[in-house]
Structure formats: structure tokens, C-alpha cells
Amino acid sequence: TRPIKIAPSILAADFSRLGEEVRAIDKAGADYIHLDVMDGHFVPNISFGPSVIESLRRCTDKIFDVHLMIAPVDPFIEAFARAGADIITFHPEAGPHGHRTIQAIKAAGCRAGLSLNPGTPVATVEPLIDDLDLLLVMTVNPGFGGQAFIETGLKKIAALRDMIDRSGRRIDLEVDGGINFETAARAIDAGADVLVAGTAAFAGGPDRYADNIAGLRGGA
């Protein structure tokens, strides 16, 4: 069985103590730190940008998994790379030149991810798979934490697991939205190997974070 990585989304952290929250979730066993960037245009919510990420870069050495829910993407890639992003993931609907965006992310020194909304078909990935390092299956419509898991994502995860295995490349298969202990187990069964969790990772405050992460991993 493949190792499972947990990527807590700081969207569910206490923004008034963000640095301490990142240190606490790092110490609790997070593999990636998932950073949800929203622009109020591509999604109906606004979160934070490169300057917040740059500040948090001083709090942890964990991989920064930056999920861009913004349009356009290309003019901001350099800024996120300079802020400390390790992985930059974007949505194909954010612009007409997905292949160019992937090349720009790599030229900036980052790993490139593509994110599929609940309404975006798996076939979107096919022409790009040889250039991608991560695939992100959204199991909610992006914009907010705390939403319910959309079941059809499981079929997409299975289809993409197949596509990745056939490619022979090492590509993370990440799932994001409505992940709790129960949906985490089902996403893993379907083939996911990176689980994003906001609400479930940060539930109950810092004393609970290690148990939350173990429970998501399936070790609880």
C-alpha cells in the first residue's frame, strides 16, 4: 500500500495566530501545509496571498502546497514561488493555456498541480499528464471550508489512479473538500494518496491536532 500524506488546510486555522497554528500542525505530523488562495473572482471568497505565505515560510520546513483558486494565474506564479511555494496547483478554467501555465510553474522552480472541480471531466488531464506532478480532485465546489463531500469525486479518483499508474510517473493524487475520518478512508480506498483537510485537521484546537492527523491517515 502507498504511503498517505496529510495536507492540513490553514483556511480552518485561527488566522489571528497563524504562525503558531502552522507550527502546531507541523509538530502534529502534517506532511504538506495546504494553502488555499482565493481571489473573490474565480471563487466567491477571498483568503490570502503571497505575503502571508512568505511570513509563514519562516514557521515550518514542511512542503508548501499552494492551491490557487484565482484567475488569471500566470502573472502571479513568480510571486508565489518567491514566497516559498513548493507545489503550485491551479484550475484549468482559470485560463486557456494550461500547458503554458505548467511550464511557467516549473520554470519558477516549483512542482505543478492541476485541480479538477466537481464539474470538470477527468479527460482534461490527459494531454497534460506527462508534465504534472500532482492531481487534485475537488470533492466540494471551491471557495469555502466546511462543506459536504461530493460522492462523485470517488469515481474520478479511481479513474485518475488508473491514469497515473499507466503513466508510470510519480504523481501525487490529492483529494480536497469535506474530508473527515470516514471520507478519508474512502478516498484512500479509491486511490488517493494526499488528503487535504481543513475542518477535520484543526477541530478541537492544538491539543487534538496529532490525533486528528492520525485519524485521517487511518491510524486512529
Q: List interacting residues with ligand DX5 (CB under 6 A).
A: 9, 11-12, 34, 36, 67, 140, 142-147, 176-179, 196-200
Task: Spell out the residues 6+ positions from residue 177 whose beta carbon is closer than 8 angstroms to its own.
Answer: 138, 139, 140, 142, 147, 149, 150, 153, 196
For residue 20, the surrounding DSSP H or E stretch is helix 18-27
Task: Spell out the residues 6+ positions from residue 165 whose beta carbon is closer than 8 angstroms to its own.
Answer: none
User: Is 15 within any annotated ligand binding site?
Assistant: no
Asked about 189 being catalytic, the answer comes back as: no
User: Is 119 within any annotated ligand binding site?
Assistant: no
Q: Which of 151, 188, 185 is nearest to 173 (CA)?
A: 188
Asked about 36 being catalytic, the answer comes back as: yes
- Give, in order, the Cα–Cα distances in Å from 169 to each of 4, 21, 35, 134: 17, 34, 25, 10
CA distance 149 to 139: 5
Indicate whether 21 belongs to the interface with Zn ion (CB under 5 A). no
Q: For residues 28 and 197, which CB has a smaller minimum distance to ligand DX5 in the complex?
A: 197
Handedness of CA 207, 210, 33, 175 (dihedral sign): negative
User: Is 67 within any annotated ligand binding site?
Assistant: yes
Q: For residues 10 and 160, which CB has a smaller minimum distance to ligand DX5 in the complex?
A: 10
Least distance in angstroms from the C-beta of 69 to ligand DX5: 6
Indicate whether 161 belongs to the interface with Zn ion (CB under 5 A). no
Binding mask 25-44 for Zn ion (x = CB under 5 A): -----------x--------
Q: Residue 146 binds what, of ligand DX5, Zn ion, none (CB under 5 to 8 Å, by partner type)? A: ligand DX5
Q: Which of 119, 135, 128, 142 is nearest to 191 (CA)?
A: 135
Candidate residues 32, 38, 67, 81; the one interacting with Zn ion per rule CB under 5 A: 67
Grid coordinates of 33: 501545509
Yes or no: say if 130 and 167 are a contact pair by the CB < 8 Å rule: yes
Site for Zn ion in 163-192 (CB under 5 A): 176
Binding residue positions for substrate: 9, 67, 143-146, 176-178, 198-199
Binding residue positions for a divalent metal cation: 34, 36, 67, 176
User: Which residues of this protein are in contact with Zn ion, per CB under 5 A?
Assistant: 36, 67, 176
Q: Which residues are catalytic?
A: 36, 176
